[in-house]
Structure 1
Amino acid sequence: MKFKWFQNKLTFVIIPEANGSVVRVKLSRAVLWGAVFALLLLVGTSCFIYVQQMQSAASSYLRTTELHGKAAKLEQDLKHKNEAIEQLKNEIFTLSKQAAEVGSKMEEITRLRQDLLKLSPGSGSADQAVSAASPETPPASKAGGVGGPEIPVTAEQVRALASSTGARYTELAAEMNRLSASFVESKKQLLAQQERQKHIPSLWPTLSKHVTSPYGYRRDPFTSKLSFHKGMDIAGKLNDPVYAAAGGIVHSVGYDKLHGHNVVLEHSSGIRTWYMHLNQAEVDTGERVVKGQRIGKLGTTGRSTGPHLHYEVLRNGKSTDPAPYLPSHSRKDVK
């Protein structure tokens, strides 16, 4: 029965237009079912191929998306690293500028220190003390061997180091600014003190320091009566040089029977010095003199018993004892 079903034939009648002849096509059921099976096989194969292509495309899309994601992540990482490198470059540049500023400040402080040492008394010992207080640290190559495992540092650690170093440089720069300002002020004070010292009568006016009659009460050398001596008599040889005890201006140059040839110098702060019994004056009124400059020759003119210098110091017009102004050591010319 089954074989007969497959052996039956089907007739297809094709009717064209009105004037055309009718076409009859006879197909067996086996051929028809074979055609249907072939069509189904073709459709199934096409679907299978389509599904495979879709799966391949989806897999390719996923791989492409994953690669794009990785590429984007790598690009982002590269961007961050480039930013970190740029930041490190900026920090290194900033550190180099700060190092240059620190070096400049150190040079300035060194110059100021040298100036202060020159201005201060006993500069040699002070310089040795400073040198001894700050010994040179030997470099690592001379101090001994070095070693240990190599531990790489991260960019974050480098940034932290650069940041802390920069902060330290900033602190050092601020400290050096304070030191520099302090040194500048000290230098100004020393210069001012040195300038004042030039106009203070602290220099022996003669080569000799043999005082024959100090300031104060005494018996007059001519009358032997008690009298007040307003100055200091310093013995010396005739025509020994007489020096300005301080810098200033020649107030007067004159001669009289009491004081002989004499010179009065005007200094600062209302101080004057008076040099009497000179054999000869070597300056003129109004002339500016410096400390230690020769102003005359020691003599015995006027009311005098022998070659000596009557040296007098006046403050605001009143005589005062010259001894506290004079050093006990040998005379030094200070110009």
Structure 2
Amino acid sequence: MNRSLSQDRQWTFMIIRGANRPVVQCSVSRTAIHVALSLLTFLIAALVISLVIQRVNIHQITIAHETLQQDVAKKDQLIAKMNEEMGSVYALSSQMKERMTQVTVLEKQLKTFIYSSGQPQQQKKTDASPKSTARNLSSHDANIAQAKQLHLTSVGGEFIQPTQDNTHNHNGTSAHTQSSSTTIDSDKVAQQWSQTFAQLEHMDATWKQWDKSMPPLIAKAERMQQQLDGTPNFWPTTAYRVTSQFGLRDDPFNRSQAHHGGLDVAGHNGEPIFAAAEGTVTASSRDNQKGNYIFIRHRGNLETRYLHLSESQVKTGSKVRKGQQIGKLGSTGRSTGPHLHFEIRQNGEPIDPLNYVSSPNTPNQK
């Protein structure tokens, strides 16, 4: 009975290996079979759960990867746009630098025209009449006031504030592998670009203002400079002792009163003689009365004459600058000693040179 119950709790398996071979009989308890089946069921369930979890994780990774790719694509587009705009900004910055360089040149020219021409040159007079002098001074003051309104200060240097984002060193491959913590702050970049463009717009507006206002002012200053350069108010020699002035005087040869048409400035043989203003040499010759002489034609039907020179250093037809050496002091022609006879004529008539020039306080003229 016990043996029969024991056999009922076991499963018997028979293995037939062939017709001529004996049958192999194996007995396995039902408990072992149940345990094996339970274990197999558990393994299958664990495998299924693992596959499900893996699929969910793969799906989440796929979604995250697609999101990251989209984010990276947007950043790449932003960087490409920034690189394109950086090229435009660089080109505009270079253009603005060239403009500011032109402005600096114009500024220097304007200062040279206005301020240098405004400096007194050995107490010289700029016109024969007080009214003309007042007009010149008023024009000069107006030029200075207009220059101050343009805020003529020094410019240059870099004009674009550099941004902190190193967009030119962007690497497309590394962008896909960077974490979200290293991505570009779009708001910050946009703010920096906004500031940069604001700077450029301000510079462009400033340039347009200068470009509109400065050329007429420069042209006016050039006309003023040309007028001053053509005015014979430069003392014509390093000698400075006036021995005979314009007007009636005792003639040293005839011992009688005669009209003297210029200034006699006593000096030493060989002292330099300068052009009182820019102009054209109309005569450079010699005769018994004037000795070696030079005539120069200037603006406003003015002419200057330099007589009794020991040497002439310019030729007829030559263009001369204001202050240029044209000869040397001497005592040729009708002369009693080394001196310069200096005349200024207007419309062919002699006028008092002291209306234009005055003797310097020192013998050396700059």
TM-score by length of 2: 0.51
Which gives a bigger RCO, structure 1 or 2 (Cα 8 Å, sep 6+)?
Answer: 2
Check the 8 A contact 1:280/1:296 in 2, yes or no. Answer: yes
Spell out, residue by residue over 1:32-87, the C-alpha distance to the aligned partner (whole angstroms, 9 max, x if none): xxxxxxxxxxxxxxxxxxxxxxxxxxxxxxxx999999998777666655544444
SS in 2 for 1:273: strand
Check the 8 A contact 1:108/1:180 in 2, yes or no. Answer: no
Task: Give me the whole-angstrom Cα distance separating, in 1, the residues matched to 2:313 and 2:199.
Answer: 63
Uncovered stretches (5+) of structure 2, i.e. residues with no partner? 1-57, 118-150, 158-182
Cα distance change, pair 158–314 in 1 and its aligned pair in 2 (3 A): same
Is residue 132 of structure 2 the alignment partner of residue 100 of structure 1?
A: no
Amino acid at match of 1:267: H
The alignment covers a number of residue pairs equal to: 252
Task: Give me the whole-angstrom Cα distance separating, in 1, the residues matched to 2:272 and 2:83.
Answer: 71
Indicate the residue corresponding to 2:324 in structure 1.
292
Amino acid at match of 1:121: S
Shift of 1:270: 1.9
Amino acid at match of 2:84: N
Is residue 339 of structure 2 the alignment partner of residue 308 of structure 1?
A: yes
Check the 8 A contact 2:262/2:352 in 1, yes or no. Answer: yes
Amino acid at match of 2:297: E
Task: Give me the whole-angstrom Cα distance separating, in 2, the residues matched to 1:280 and 1:79.
Answer: 86
Match of 2:307 among 276, 287, 294: 276
Spell out, residue by residue over 1:146-178, the C-alpha distance to the aligned partner (whole angstroms, 9 max, x if none): xxxxxx984234324312421321221331343
Task: Give me the whole-angstrom Cα distance separating, in 2, the residues matched to 1:105 and 1:266.
Answer: 40
SS in 2 for 1:285: coil
Shift of 1:211: 1.1
Indicate the residue corresponding to 2:197 in structure 1.
166
Task: Give me the whole-angstrom Cα distance separating, in 2, the residues matched to 1:153 and 1:295.
Answer: 76
Is residue 262 of structure 2 the alignment partner of residue 262 of structure 1?
A: no
Task: Give me the whole-angstrom Cα distance separating, in 2, the residues matched to 1:329 and 1:188.
Answer: 34
Task: Give me the whole-angstrom Cα distance separating, in 2, the residues matched to 1:156 and 1:107.
Answer: 34
Uncovered stretches (5+) of structure 1, i.e. residues with no partner? 1-63, 123-129, 137-151
Task: Give me the whole-angstrom Cα distance separating, in 1, the residues matched to 2:312 and 2:70.
Answer: 94
TM-score by length of 1: 0.55
Indicate the residue corresponding to 2:166 in structure 1.
none
Check the 8 A contact 1:230/1:319 in 2, yes or no. Answer: yes
Name which one, 1 or 2, has greater alpha-carbon Rg: 1
Amino acid at match of 2:116: P
Match of 1:230 among 255, 261, 264: 261
Percent identity, aligned pairs only? Answer: 27
Task: Give me the whole-angstrom Cα distance separating, in 2, the residues matched to 1:153 and 1:81.
Answer: 7
SS in 2 for 1:286: coil
Check the 8 A contact 1:249/1:287 in 2, yes or no. Answer: yes
Shift of 1:257: 5.9
Q: How does 1:145-156 map to 2 (within 5 A)?
A: 154-156=185-187
Spell out, residue by residue over 1:187-219, the C-alpha distance to the aligned partner (whole angstroms, 9 max, x if none): 555555555544432332222111122224545
Cα distance change, pair 187–332 in 1 and its aligned pair in 2 (3 A): farther
Task: Give me the whole-angstrom Cα distance separating, in 2, the residues matched to 1:170 and 1:315.
Answer: 54
Check the 8 A contact 2:331/2:338 in 1, yes or no. Answer: yes
Task: Give me the whole-angstrom Cα distance separating, in 2, the residues matched to 1:111 and 1:78.
Answer: 48
Indicate the residue corresponding to 1:148 in structure 2.
none
Is residue 85 of structure 2 the alignment partner of residue 91 of structure 1?
A: yes
Task: Give me the whole-angstrom Cα distance separating, in 2, the residues matched to 1:85 and 1:239.
Answer: 76
